[in-house]
Chain A
């Protein structure tokens, strides 16, 4: 039997060793059902008089439906009911509408225009699967075949066919304004200019079919209490329930969904395609109806992992430090949104991978093509870009002549480092993983690389700081739409100003509450940053860290004492370019060095960052620009009228003003807890610490215990 090796020597001080489950054999509770063949998958429920549903599917990638002739099928033996698009009570949906994200763009049965091969246009319910197949074959659809587009770049061309009428630019609209999901952290353009090497390449992921052994499907039947029972193999039972209720325009309380036994999912069973049609069939016939993919449909119509095309541009120093990284991502959603828009948000939050890079920019586009709509698969949103990142790391290593594992170690994130999504990294372990992998592969590492630790050197100096980030004339980060700007991030002209961090300069409007008691308090919105009340005073928009940090401080801070120029390094760590670095001050603590270099890069004099432009000069581009950027003093962020907000934040601000702007903002006192703990002292275990947002038993100021539902006050 295979055994698991535990490296308990790593992070030994972070846990006690009284684990009850981890590391010990544990029986799955469903294992006896599995080995006796009695686990109840959705198809293992027998119904008297079960009817079978099958779909009429488009043979074309893109076509307008002129007419459908059902007459032959209606007369065939065994046919009980033909389901037309007009039989679907609310025949338009997008999966994430349940969380108010995106516009409805996909019909359950397509009435007008099919946008991918295999899209359903009607369904047949018959007494046997064979009769349903025969009837489907007897339905003739008159299609007007349209030009289709199957390639990501071709879909973004100006004359590309419009795949999805809801998004006529062939890109998902983020926040109703942007045709991409963006990330800006620092200033990549300035860092590229200072880098020794620029390494660029593109990477392409294929769609991948999850191919579970049990094909997707559901059986629905009328119950005797005006409800419908639905046995389903879904991985997302309540998503399916909510989607069914919406598409069929019925109360979800009339739906009795039973699932949880899934014959392999891997992400491919979250699209809620089967339950609505099965329940609709049961409603229309009054009989139990089974609707499932056969294997061919599972492969052709079942939503795969989406294809992704990533372009990565790195600025690298001769010693292997990556000082800037820019991404352009094209994510192939297929014909409809499904979950791709969310996958991109997740991918963006993951950038730049498990590395600490001081300047990062990214534009990711959710692109519609006439391919099968994409959905989740293992590591949804992460796997594709990680593939690109790790391929690119090898390219970078080759370019600078670095050992590929050591290149990763040099750039690895560590505990306390600021991530590009503006949260501190914690529980990092890339360094240890690389070290163990090298050891297992008998791959020689230099002594200082073997001595690195995720627990040391992280969060020092620039590594813990949110860098200043350039904005344009209206105070906005990055570009808006590709029609007016180049695809690559960061090339939209000279920055007009800078914001120090996060959303400090942007007015964030909350979604309207659905109920009175779900009213959102303004201080709950957005990131808690230096410009938020209750935090140390903002250091101001001037850049407090260099665009390119000093060479030695980050990478070798915890390594052996004389890391640079040590000839003892083995042959695997010979860097090709011997270009001397600017002499870094050798200091144990990098903070003074950072101060020296802090004003290396000045904001352009034309538009001082501390004053907002009086007008918006970009009104000709067709979108609705944001209001002008107005940097807010630290205490002017709108505070809630509720108890314990602005008033109780005042002492925190005054406390903070006595301390210089520090890389890790000292935690403000929890406004909700009684002032027993001394304010500003971090280690109090029950204090609210913004860099640790999900601590058990800690009440976040202004945040109710339950994010949705009844607010507890």
Chain B
């Protein structure tokens, strides 16, 4: 099958991949770049589990053509925190028990990261709106909303800076 080159910045690192022409960004990130943090839930753009940031905007990587991210900045959950150092948002998810099975969590974190950068002090309604494209089948929405609000209170914009703690 014909492979096509694509270059973009992944979590601050210049990245170049040879991908199938029809590959979606999710497959390119997981199988190509080896970043397994975005998860595949529905592969049809309805569950939000595969949410990544493209130039700061939350996007569904399962219905994004990998070639289309040429030259952009792509961020995944792997950009949050470093090693033992977690971003305030991640710490708030831990403290608030905002993950059960954990499968929707990376998508939730990316949607919340985009929100908190755009709006460091969101209202509860704005948080709900921001994660309205993300499904949590464990139905733990309340702790997730609480955790995002707590992160806004404690850490401001969720850290994407290296070494943020």
Contacts and interface: CB of A to CB of B under 8 A. Distances in A.
Contacts of B77: 36-37
Given A1-B96, A27-B94, A294-B43, A34 B105 contact: yes
A214 interface: yes
Given A41-B39, A128-B1, A214-B39, A30 B137 contact: no
Contacts of B47: 213
Chain B CB count within 10 A is highest, among A1, A27, A35, A130, for: A35
B160 to A, nearest CB: 14
Nearest to A211: B137
Interface string B25-49: 0000001001011111111101101
A31 interface: yes
A44 B78 CA distance: 14
Interface string A196-230: 00000000000000111111000000000000000
A582 interface: no
Nearest to B109: A35
Contacts of A41: 39, 103
Nearest to B149: A1
B137 A44 contact: no
A136 interface: no
A130 B27 CA distance: 12
Instruction: Give the bracket for the number of chain A residues in contact with chain B.
Output: 20 to 34
B94 A35 contact: yes
A35 B143 contact: no
A36 B135 contact: no
B131 interface: no
A39 interface: yes
Given A36-B90, A213-B49, A295-B43, A263 B36 contact: no
Contact of A214 (B34, B41, B143): B41
A266 interface: yes
B14 interface: no
B38 A37 contact: yes
A38 interface: yes
A27 B80 CA distance: 20
Chain A CB count within 10 A is highest, among B49, B101, B136, B138, for: B101
Nearest to B99: A34
A454 B117 CA distance: 54
Contacts of A707: none
A264 B101 contact: yes
A574 B100 CA distance: 46
Contact of A43 (B40, B106, B109, B146): B40
Given A35-B94, A37-B78, A266-B137, A212 B105 contact: no
A38 B36 contact: yes
Chain B CB count within 10 A is highest, among A39, A130, A213, for: A213
Contacts of A265: 101
B94 A32 contact: yes
Interface in B79-133: 80-81, 86, 90, 93-94, 96-97, 99-106, 109
Contact of B86 (A2, A36, A43): A36
A35 B150 contact: no
Nearest to A299: B42
A612 to B, nearest CB: 56
B61 interface: no
Nearest to A129: B27
Given A37-B76, A37-B77, A44-B36, A213 B146 contact: no
A33 interface: yes
A262 interface: yes
B102 A30 contact: yes
Contacts of B1: 128
Given A37-B78, A213-B137, A295-B42, A263 B101 contact: yes
A441 interface: no
Contact of B99 (A35, A212, A262): A35
Contacts of A38: 36-37
A28 B81 CA distance: 19
A37 B101 contact: no
B81 A263 contact: no
Interface in A34-69: 34-39, 41, 43-44, 46
Chain B CB count within 10 A is highest, among A37, A130, A262, A265, for: A37
Interface of B: 1, 20, 22, 31, 34, 36-44, 46-47, 49, 76-78, 80-81, 86, 90, 93-94, 96-97, 99-106, 109, 135-138, 142-143, 146, 150
Given A37-B37, A37-B106, A214-B41, 13 more contacts: A30-B102, A31-B102, A32-B86, A34-B105, A36-B80, A37-B39, A39-B102, A128-B1, A130-B22, A263-B101, A265-B101, A266-B137, A295-B46
Interface of A: 1-2, 25, 27-28, 30-39, 41, 43-44, 46, 128, 130, 210-215, 262-266, 294-295
11 contacts: A1-B143, A31-B102, A34-B93, A37-B109, A39-B102, A43-B40, A213-B39, A214-B41, A214-B101, A263-B39, A264-B103
